[in-house]
């Protein structure tokens, strides 16, 4: 029995990784569900073999009284904004003046959701929090566990903290508001509010019903300590660990490539299955990021281009 329970844990973890991180499902959803139900039954009959990171442990039972406060080890900063080509060329000129010409950028879609921080100890998900004011956020671990794209266990037993965006796909948002309209309930204004509202629920069963997802885009603390020399490689490392990161990212040699990327997604934005409110542009190499440093509230090596409202 214990052997079958261990086998099911491993299988379901691998199937989840293939589905949520590699976007390459290896089994039909029905097979996944069937194995999950077999594991639920085995765990019910043998509770002593329930692993804390078993996929059956995603939806906790109890309704919380409130959310504990969590102080982020590394502050969760905000990005300065750019609204047009001139802002972006200014950003690029300042960087060139500071560090010379041999730098390049990484461009990512800016997901219109809720910033989250996830902490793992020896590869196991132990705590998740909102950004809050950047220094102190709220512990929403129970709600974040219900997000199937968030791994309960990593592919390496590492201890680290990552940052990302929790979001509600457009389809889920439309279905949720349709259900609420049928019940005469107040509608959510947009997917970001719906995601934030879902993660602020004290009953994890509600969050579990909202079909949220996430993209992870950074580690807390400095990337160098992982022996990785830049952001582009870091995103690959995060995927190897088991985190979903957004596939539409591009490595851009010059600001002209960045502008082309922005052009492309200004056009293609409506085809995405989730809302984005901009494009995040980062100088790739950590050595360059260190040289450029931070202002009081945001990195000098990154900027968010915001789509016109």
Ligand X SMILES: COc1nc2nc(N)nc(N)c2nc1C
Binding site for ligand X (CB under 6 A): 77-79, 108, 110, 165, 217-218, 280, 299, 302
Q: Which is nearer to ligand X, 25 or 299 (CB)?
A: 299
Cross-strand partners of 121: 124
Q: Which is nearer to ligand X, 43 or 108 (CB)?
A: 108
Q: Which is nearer to ligand X, 39 or 106 (CB)?
A: 106
Cross-strand partners of 117: 129, 163
Q: Which is nearer to ligand X, 36 or 114 (CB)?
A: 114
Q: In the bound complex, what is the minimum distance in angstroms from residue 129's beta carbon to ligand X?
A: 15
Q: In the bound complex, what is the minimum distance in angstroms from residue 31's beta carbon to ligand X?
A: 33
Q: Known catalytic residue: 68?
A: no
* C-beta separation of 160 from 220 below 8 A: yes
Q: In the bound complex, what is the minimum distance in angstroms from residue 62's beta carbon to ligand X?
A: 32
Q: In the bound complex, what is the minimum distance in angstroms from residue 33's beta carbon to ligand X?
A: 32
Q: Name the residue among 7, 193, 216 with its Cα closest to residue 118.
A: 216
> Could you tell me the CA-to-CA distances from 39 to 8, 57, 174 in Å, in that order?
6, 11, 32
Q: In the bound complex, what is the minimum distance in angstroms from residue 299's beta carbon to ligand X?
A: 6
Going by their DSSP bridges, the two strands 124-130 and 114-121 should be labelled as: antiparallel
Which one is catalytic: 94, 110, 183, 297?
110
Cα 251 from Cα 258, distance rounded (Å)? 9
Q: What DSSP letter does each residue of 109-174 carry, written as one string?
A: EEESSEEEEEEEETTEEEEEEE-TTSSEEEB-HHHHHT-TTS-SB-SS---EEEEEEEE--HHHHH
Q: Name the residue among 81, 91, 80, 79 with its Cα closest to residue 255.
A: 91
Helix axes 2-20, 29-45, angle to 10 degrees: 150
Q: Which is nearer to ligand X, 53 or 291 (CB)?
A: 291
* C-beta separation of 284 from 103 below 8 A: yes
Tokens coding 90? 């200014």
Instruction: Tell me which residues are annotated as active site.
Output: 110
């Amino acid at each position: 029995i214990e052997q079958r329970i261990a086998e099911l844990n491993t299988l379901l973890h691998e199937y989840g990784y293939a589905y949520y991180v590699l976007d390459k499902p290896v089994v039909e959803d029905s097979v996944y569900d069937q194995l999950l139900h077999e594991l639920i039954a085995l765990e019910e009959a043998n509770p002593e073999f329930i692993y804390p990171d078993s996929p059956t442990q995603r939806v906790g039972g109890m309704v919380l009284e409130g959310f504990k406060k969590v102080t982020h080890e590394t502050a969760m900063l905000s990005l300065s904004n750019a609204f047009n080509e001139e802002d972006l060329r200014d950003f690029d000129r300042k960087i060139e003046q500071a560090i010379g010409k041999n730098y390049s950028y990484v461009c990512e879609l800016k997901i219109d959701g809720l910033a989250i921080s996830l902490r793992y100890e020896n590869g196991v998900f132990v705590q998740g929090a909102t950004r809050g004011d950047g220094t102190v956020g709220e512990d929403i671990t129970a709600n974040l566990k219900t997000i199937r794209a968030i791994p309960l266990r990593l592919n390496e037993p590492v201890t680290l903290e990552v940052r990302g965006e929790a979001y509600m796909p457009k389809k889920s948002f439309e279905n949720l508001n349709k259900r609420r309209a049928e019940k005469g309930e107040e509608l959510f204004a947009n997917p970001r509010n719906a995601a934030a509202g879902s993660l602020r629920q004290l009953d994890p069963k509600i969050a579990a019903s909202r079909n949220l997802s996430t993209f992870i885009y950074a580690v807390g603390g400095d990337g160098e300590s992982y022996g990785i020399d830049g952001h582009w490689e870091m995103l690959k490392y995060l995927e190897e660990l088991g985190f979903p990161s957004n596939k539409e990212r591009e490595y851009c040699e010059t600001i002209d490539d960045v502008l082309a990327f922005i052009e492309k997604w200004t056009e293609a934005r409506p085809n995405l299955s989730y809302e984005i409110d901009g494009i995040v542009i980062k100088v790739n190499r950590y050595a360059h990021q260190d040289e450029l440093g931070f202002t009081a509230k945001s990195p000098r090596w990154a900027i968010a281009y915001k789509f016109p409202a």
